[in-house]
Amino acid sequence: MKRQPKGAKRRRQAIQVYTYAQAQSVAPYLASIVRSLREHSLEALSLRRRRKQLDDRPGRPDRAALIEAQELDRQAHRAEDNVRDAVAEMQRLDVYPLDPVRGQALVPFVHEEQLAWYVFDLFDPQPLQFWRFQTDPEDTRRPVTPRQDGRVEAGKA
C-alpha cells in the first residue's frame, strides 16, 4: 500500500461565515471591491477582443499593428493582474465572485446547519436580498426572510 507524504494530506479549510448584520456591515466595502473587479474584468475582456480583431485581420501585420498588439497584450495583462488582486481581496474576506461582469458575489452563512450564500448584487438597491444553498444551481435566488437575516431563530418560525 502506498502512503501519501505527510504534507499531502487534504486539509479542511474553514471559511468565515457571516450573519446577515455582518454581511450588511461589510456590504459597502464589498461593493467597492466588486465594482473594481467588474471594471477590470470588462477592461480585460475588451482588450482581448480588440487583440483578437487585430489578429483576425487578413494579410501580414505591419509595424503599427505589431506595436498595437504588443500594447494591447501589456494592457490586458495589467487588467488581468488587477482582476486577480480584487479576487484575492474578496477571498481574504471569504467572499467569492459569482459573476464579475454582473457585479455578483457570494457571502457565506449557515442556514439549517448547511452552507448557504447571500447573493451580493452590486446593481440591486438592496444588494443582499437573495440567498441560496451551496447545493443549489447557480441561478437559484431565494428571498432573504427573517429566518435568514437572524430576526427569527430556526425552529421558532
Q: Give tens-digit pLDDT for 78-98.
A: 999 999 999 999 999 999 999
Question: What pLDDT, on the 0 to 100 scale, is given for residue 13?
Answer: 75
What is residue 2's predicted lDDT score, i.e. its pLDDT? 55
**Which residues have a Cβ under 8 Å from the Cβ of 93 and sit 6 or more positions away?**
16, 26, 29, 30
For residues 62 and 9, the answer to whether their CB atoms sit within 8 Å is no
Residues 148, 128 contacting (CB under 8 angstroms)? no
Q: What is the pLDDT of residue 7?
A: 56
Over range 136-155, report the average pLDDT: 80
Report pLDDT digits (tens) over 17-75: 999 999 999 999 999 999 999 999 999 999 999 999 999 999 999 999 999 999 999 99
First to last CA, the chain: 52
List Cα–Cα distances, 75 to 52, 78, 80, 84, in angstroms: 14, 5, 9, 14
Q: Check: CB of residue 105 under 8 Å from CB of residue 30.
A: yes
Q: Name the DSSP class of 50.
A: H
Q: What is the pTM (predicted TM-score) of this model?
A: 0.82
The confidence band for 148, taking pLDDT boundaries of 50, 70 and 90, is confident
What is the rounded distance in angstroms from the CA atom of residue 25 to the CA atom of residue 27? 6
